[in-house]
Amino acid sequence: MADATINNIESTLANFIWKNADDLWGHFGHTDFGKIILPFTVLRRLECVLEENKEQVRSTYSNMKDQGLALDDILKTVSAYPFYNTSTYDLSNLGGTKTKANLEDYISQFSDNARVIFEQFDFANTINKLAKANILHKICQNFAAIDLHPNVVPDRTMSNVYEHLIRRFGAEVNEGAEDFMTPRDVVHLAATLLLEPDNALFEQKNGLIRTIYDQTCGTGGFLTDMMNYIDTFRDRYKVAPVLVPYGQELQPETHAVCLGSMLLKRLETDPSRDLSQNIKLGSTLSQDAFGSMRFHYQCSNPPFGKPWANDAKSVQTEQSEKGFSGRFGAGLPKSSDGSMLFLQNLISKLESPENGGGRGAIVLSGSPLFNGGAGSGESEIRRWILENDYLEAIVALPTDIFFRTGIGTYIWIVSNRKPAHRQHKVQLIDATGMGASMRKNEGNKRKFINEEGIAEITRIYTAFEASAVSKIFDYTDFGYRRVKVLRPLRLNMVFDADKHRLLSESKEYQKLDALKAKALDDYILSFYGQTFAFSWVDSHFLAKFPKEVGKVSKGLMNALMSFFGVKNPEGEIVTLDDKVVADSDLTDYENIPLHQDIHAYMAKEVLPHAHDAYVDQSQTDDKDGQVGVVGYELNFNRYFYVFEQPRHPNEILAEIQTLSAEVAQLLGEI
**Per-residue pLDDT tens digits for 461-520:** 999 999 999 999 999 999 999 999 999 999 999 999 999 999 999 999 999 999 999 999
Strands 209-214 and 242-249, bridge-based pairing: parallel
Query: Would you place residue 173 in the very low, low, confident or very high pLDDT band (cuts 50, 70, 90)?
Result: very low
Q: Bigger pLDDT: 62 or 230?
A: 62
Residues with Cβ within 8 Å of residue 138, at least 6 apart in sequence: 23
Mean pLDDT of the chain: 89
Domain 177-464 matching CATH 3.40.50.10140: the answer reads no
CA 597 to CA 606: how far, in whole Å?
13
CA 152 to CA 209: how far, in whole Å?
28
Average pLDDT of the segment spanning 256-260: 92
CA distance to 304, 357, 413, 470, 632, per residue, from 428 (Å): 21, 22, 10, 6, 15
At 124 the pLDDT is: 95
CA distance to 54, 187, 212, 360, 397, per residue, from 190 (Å): 38, 5, 13, 9, 11
**Per-residue pLDDT tens digits for 99-109:** 999 999 999 99
- Model's pTM, two decimal places? 0.85
CA 600 to CA 275: how far, in whole Å?
60
CA 344 to CA 382: how far, in whole Å?
10
At 500 the pLDDT is: 95
**Per-residue pLDDT tens digits for 464-479:** 999 999 999 999 999 9
The proportion of the chain whose per-residue pLDDT surpasses 90, expressed as a percent, equals: 61
**Per-residue pLDDT tens digits for 592-611:** 999 999 999 999 999 999 99
CA 331 to CA 620: how far, in whole Å?
18
At 178 the pLDDT is: 42
Query: Would you place residue 167 in the very low, low, confident or very high pLDDT band (cuts 50, 70, 90)?
Result: low
Residue 180 has pLDDT above 70, yes or no: no
Q: Are 447 and 435 in contact (CB under 8 A)?
A: yes
DSSP alpha helix (H) spans, 199-338: 199-204, 221-231, 252-263, 312-322
Strands 359-365 and 297-300, bridge-based pairing: parallel
User: E strands, 487-595, where?
Assistant: 491-494, 531-533, 565-567, 575-576, 579-580, 588-593
How is residue 435 annotated by DSSP? P
